[in-house]
Structure 1
Amino acid sequence: MPELSQLTPDEGSITMFTTEWCGYCTRLKGQLKRDGVPFTEIDLEDSPEHVAFVEHVNGGNRTVPTVVFPDGTAATNPSLAEVRARLAS
């Protein structure tokens, strides 16, 4: 499992774990792009080495989208408003 420090994004951006078939992921990606929020996307189907990390931060569940913030915290299926608020703090 990759270390959190390897997945923590730079200030002002997020790391988002997704899958191709996830409608919530598609919605959040579109909102982030429209709002100009920089993000790095990691598709779990293309990067299975990250599955254990997502399960770890989600109590054993492989839930997407999972977002990692610059302060090292994570959120599952956050709203655009939550992402903006957490990046601003």
Structure 2
Amino acid sequence: MGAAELIVYTRPGCPFCTSLRAGLRRQGLEYRDVDIWQEQDAAAVVRSIADGNETVPTVVLGDWTAVNPSAGQVLDAVREHAPELLPDRKPGPVEGTLNALGLKRDR
């Protein structure tokens, strides 16, 4: 079995997806963003998890799945199921804000 991967299924224009991604970046969590409108099998994966609906964000971490979770719920799942994905340290307020905006701070 390969290393655990945090996958967030999204679609363009989804405010819940934007909020979740910002929250995950604020926590320093790395994830793979999968657009269900661009990747052929992604919508089918989401439908299999979300009772036949294409509800996003849908998150997969190994056997753990969640439909429209909060960043806190995802962080708890990472702690429980894949602690190796946790950042070495939690970003400080400035770094967390820059991360949430998709910006990287030069050191």
Match 2:70 to one of 69, 79, 86: 79
Task: Detail structure 1 runs of 4+ shifted over 4 Å in the superposition.
Answer: none
TM-score (norm 2): 0.68
2:17 aligned partner: 25
Could you give the per-residue CA deviations for residues 54-85 of structure 1, whole angstroms, max 9, x where no partner exists? 10111101100000013x22100111111111
2:26 aligned partner: 34
Q: Please say which structure displays the higher CA radius of gyration.
A: 2
Corresponding residue SS for 1:26: helix
Could you give the per-residue CA deviations for residues 32-57 of structure 1, whole angstroms, max 9, x where no partner exists? 11110110000011113211111011
TM-score (norm 1): 0.81
Count of residues in Structure 1 that have an aligned counterpart in Structure 2: 80
Which whole-Å CA distance do the structure 2 matches of 1:16 and 1:10 have between them?
16
Structure 2 unaligned spans of 5+ = 81-107
Alpha-carbon deviation of 1:14?
Answer: 1.1
Structure 1 unaligned spans of 5+ = none
Which whole-Å CA distance do the structure 1 matches of 2:75 and 2:44 have between them?
26
The 8 Å contact of residues 64 and 77 in structure 2, kept in 1 or not, is answered as no
Taking only aligned residues, the RMSD between alpha carbons, in angstroms, comes to 1.8
Q: Report percent identity of matched pairs.
A: 30
Which whole-Å CA distance do the structure 2 matches of 1:10 and 1:79 have between them?
23
